[in-house]
Chain A
Amino acid sequence: MQVFDTKQRLSFTGKGGDLFVVLIVNALLTAITLGIYYPWAKARRLQYFYEHSELDGNPFHFHGTGREMFIGFIKAMGLLVLIYAVFFALMMSMEPVLMMLAYLVLFGAILGLTPLIIHGTYRYRMSRSSWRGIHFGYRGELKELYRIFLRDGFLTLITLGIYGAWFQMNLRNYVLSHVRFGSTRLEYKGDGLDFFLMNLKGYFLTLITLGIYSFWWQRDIFNYYVDNLSWHFGEGRRMQFKSTATGGGFFKLMLGNVLLVVFTLGIGLAWAHVRTMRFVMQHMEMGGDADLNLVVQTEQEHSSAMADELGDIMDIGIFL
């Protein structure tokens, strides 16, 4: 495969002070509305991160509104209340069999909802993201995601977690490879075995070095995520991503963030976020034979924010 020279084309232009103001206003409005403002606060926060992430000097844009996320939030809450209502109704029966069934329902619902949350969140987030007026989109199928979850989830269980590395890679390969940007698409090609060996090495070296290697392990994971990602424009033309992150860089980033947050009693959180974003963007270089000016608009708008909110409530991190 052809190897391209890469250079830095992504950047993060946010500033700690600006983000701090956004976060503090969010906290204020969320507190005085007893939490109802939360979806709007989330929209503001996401908008800040998108607006200050740039590719070739042009910012990304998040189109999501607090209103649609609020509707999603209400729907998600309704679903969770329903699940818990069934759970408690079964528990109140005091019948051992029904009580067992109650746990089955609860855990079944939580596990069963995960693919739905990933699918819905990608559909929503991608359709609400754009760059230079061209929308992103997600074309993955829910059925396929369930198939991966069932098959790999089962294999992970019977291999006592070892297959988890393959599970993660299969999931990442599927989801990221179905992200569209106008007429172009992303592709992720991770290999379960490589990922497993890399993590195995990281785990043992971290143990042996009493944790010091963890920064280099972190770098390896980051590199694996970035280096296997590419952006395809059709007719064989593509852009390849390349990580330039170093273990020392991760050490400086993480140590700095911990100090920033702990010694300011949390006020420094905004600055820590900015440092992290800047680090990630700076170390994702790009190179290739594609022309970024030739992307054609193709995606339609998609509206439900329910899965996004459900994932938020259940604390499922969706960005793989």
Chain B
Amino acid sequence: MSASAAANFFDGQTSRPHDATVAIREPDALEVEVNGERFHWPLEDGGMQWERSSNTLRITFGEHPRSVVLTRDAAFIRLFVQRMQRAGRRGVYDRTLSMARQGPLLFVLGLLFLAVVGYVWVLPFAAERSALLLPTEVDRQLGQAAAPELLLELWEDTARSAVLQQFGDHLALGDRFELRYHVVNDEQVNAFAMPGGHIVVFTGILDRMDHSGQLAALLAHEATHVEERHSMRMLVRQGASYLFLSLLLGDVNVVVALLAENADKIRNLTYSRALETDADLMGMERMAQAGVDPEGMVQLLELLQREAGDMPGSLSFLSSHPLTEQRIIKARERAPQLTMGNSRQPELDRLFQQLKERSTTPSP
């Protein structure tokens, strides 16, 4: 039997405190003595509950209204907790908590390490995997929902769109998705692809091209975005990291949340750059398969680099397609490694000329 410890007893009937003593009576009972009366409670009994806060042990018994014993005797609390833990009543929480108490600094550092590993490696990997598990139908639906509204706001040149569609069909870039091409009257030197298959080319970039290889490269680049489902992967990745950060930083202050948010943006930018390079290189493979010289990609990128020089920053292709210099180097390295399929060059040249002749805005 342990030495008895001073305690307060509340009978669950009134708020009156009673002086009491508690002790562990081996093998398996708690002995409480109140006002000269003694009672015993089996330690393994489900009707007995206990909680320990920093310096108080609280034991309750029976059905509602339960009686309560409170003690602050440190030696008794230690003994009692040890005894109860021997009985195997220690959950994940208590184990984690005692770990955190033993070495708070080490625990926090370990946690930080886990969070960083999760954020940098595990999370993107899992997000990519789950994005690719989504049926391609999701991309199609997403594109179908967004395309009509977007095209309504843009000034489409339907006659040239039809020619571009023929040009694109000759390249046969679509595999999983049916690709729809649109020419839009806009001075921006840019083009974009929507998930599910809509590819929009601005006249600003079209008018600055001087041979069909560049256009083939542009379409191959954008088609790669569609076929490899880059938007979907980006969306799922961003969603996942946003969820992760908001869960982790839910209760933390604004400064940290702001820092994390910006770090997240930079990481997304890095990822979108990686996707652009992917679209270049895989686009070149698509070009080669379609019988077009992949050198066209190098020339397209060089065109973009030239144009970026005399365009205001916000309008330039560079803002969404950065680091052109490095992309050119990579494309140059890749081009000679590819073997071309059967050439449809004459047909492409003819369509390209048609596109140029119909030009409404004179090329500079």
In the complex, A77 has a CB within 8 A of chain B: no
Question: Closest A-chain residue to B253, C-beta based?
Answer: A266
A293 engages B15 (CB within 8 Å): yes
B51 engages A51 (CB within 8 Å): yes
How far is B115's CA from A31's CA once the two chains are assembled, in angstroms? 9
Q: Tell me which residues across on chain A come within 8 A of B100, comparing CB atoms.
A: 21, 24-25
In the complex, A301 has a CB within 8 A of chain B: yes
Q: Which of B103-111, B154-162, B199-207 contacts A (4 or more CB under 8 A)?
A: B103-111
Q: Tell me which residues across on chain A come within 8 A of B17, comparing CB atoms.
A: 58, 132, 293
A133 engages B10 (CB within 8 Å): yes
Q: Tell me which residues across on chain A come within 8 A of B251, comparing CB atoms.
A: 23, 27, 269
A133 engages B247 (CB within 8 Å): no
Q: Tell me which residues across on chain B come within 8 A of A25, comparing CB atoms.
A: 93, 96-97, 100
How far is B243's CA from A20's CA once the two chains are assembled, in angstroms? 23
Shortest Cβ gap from B123 to chain A (Å): 11
Q: Tell me which residues across on chain B come within 8 A of A100, comparing CB atoms.
A: none
In the complex, A202 has a CB within 8 A of chain B: no
How far is B66's CA from A21's CA once the two chains are assembled, in angstroms? 30
Contact status of A265 and B11, CB under 8 A, knowing A24-B107, A29-B96, A31-B247: no
In the complex, A289 has a CB within 8 A of chain B: no
In the complex, B326 has a CB within 8 A of chain A: no
Interface residues of A in 246-294 (CB under 8 A from B): 261-262, 265-266, 269, 292-294
In the complex, A72 has a CB within 8 A of chain B: no
Can you give 19 A-B contacts (C-beta < 8 A)? A14-B54, A17-B104, A24-B107, A31-B118, A31-B247, A51-B58, A59-B56, A133-B11, A133-B15, A133-B67, A133-B68, A182-B15, A265-B259, A266-B255, A294-B14, A295-B14, A296-B14, A300-B64, A301-B64
Instruction: Among B67, B111, B256, point to the contact of A28 (Cβ < 8 A).
Output: B111
In the complex, B35 has a CB within 8 A of chain A: no
B65 engages A135 (CB within 8 Å): yes
Interface residues on A, range: 35 or more
Q: Tell me which residues across on chain A come within 8 A of B108, comparing CB atoms.
A: 24
Instruction: Among A23, A59, A132, point to the contact of B53 (Cβ < 8 A).
Output: A59
The interface bits of chain B over 174-205 (1 if a CB of A lies within 8 angstroms of the residue's CB, else 0) are 00000000000000000000000000000000
How many residues belonging to B are interface residues under a CB distance threshold of 8 Å? 47
B54 engages A292 (CB within 8 Å): no
In the complex, B101 has a CB within 8 A of chain A: yes
Instruction: Among A35, A132, A296, point to the contact of B68 (Cβ < 8 A).
Output: A132
Q: Tell me which residues across on chain A come within 8 A of B65, comparing CB atoms.
A: 133-135, 297
Question: Closest A-chain residue to B64, C-beta based?
Answer: A301
In the complex, B16 has a CB within 8 A of chain A: yes
B56 engages A51 (CB within 8 Å): yes
Q: Tell me which residues across on chain B come within 8 A of A132, comparing CB atoms.
A: 10, 15, 17, 68
Q: Tell me which residues across on chain B come within 8 A of A40, comparing CB atoms.
A: 93
Query: Which 4 interchain pairs have the tightest Cβ spacing?
Result: A51-B53, A133-B10, A266-B252, A295-B15
Question: Closest A-chain residue to B68, C-beta based?
Answer: A133
How far is B10's CA from A30's CA once the two chains are assembled, in angstroms? 35
Shortest Cβ gap from B39 to chain A (Å): 16
Question: Closest B-chain residue to A272, C-beta based?
Answer: B253
Q: Tell me which residues across on chain B come within 8 A of A294, comparing CB atoms.
A: 14-16
In the complex, A238 has a CB within 8 A of chain B: no
In the complex, A87 has a CB within 8 A of chain B: no
